[in-house]
Each structure stands twice: as structure tokens, then as C-alpha cells.
Homo-oligomer: A and B are copies of this chain.
């Protein structure tokens, strides 16, 4: 995922993975299923990467989110940042994951050990200007 991202100007590379945990808010999770509004999710992730590049002056940023059923220990999201300097790499990576959680149209259904499943409460995206 970083292979194509690094250029000779880059001095730092940072790869973040969000991973399915066995516990969420104290409940034992057995599995997760992600669904998405795919084409819009793709567009929002590209926009967030563009914003992060412009804001922090990094090199390439790649963002991938999986959908479908995931087991504990599997990565749901991966964010790769290449950057001339490390400080900006950390800031950009953090920006991308926080924005992704707030506005990319992806939903998560958790299955618990007791057989019950439910949609995980999330963030209401901010709606700004009229188009």
C-alpha cells in the first residue's frame, strides 16, 4: 500500500490500521459487518486525503476501508501517508482517521457472543453550505 506512495522527497512513512477488537464498550464482540454507500464513501475518502495533503504538506495519502464481514484481528481501515517530514505524517494520518469517522458513509453492525447484533451508534455528519 505504501509501495507506490513514496518518492525521493519523502523522509517518513506512516501506516495506520484500524483493527476489529474483541471488546467494544465492555461488550464481547464476536464479529462485525461493515456496509457503505460505496461510491460516496470513495469520494469522501479522496476528499479527506486531499484536504490532509493541502493542510499538512505531505506527499501521497492512500485510504482504504473494507466492507462486509470481518473477524477479530482483521483490519477494517488502512491509511498510508508518505511525507517529507515525520511531524506532518503523524498529523495528517490522525486527521484522516478522525474525519473518516465523522463523515464517510460507512456503518458497522456488531455481533455479540449472545447472538444479538446491532448497528453501532456513530456520528451525524455535519452538513454545511447549500449547493
Contacts and interface: CB of A to CB of B under 8 A. Distances in A.
A12 B8 contact: no
B90 A86 contact: no
Residue of A17, A21, A23 with highest tally of chain B CB at under 10 A:
A17
Interface string A16-53: 11111111000000000000000000000000000000
A23 B6 contact: no
Contacts of A9: 21-23
A86 B16 contact: yes
Contacts of A94: 90
Contacts of A14: 14-17, 93
B21 A11 contact: yes
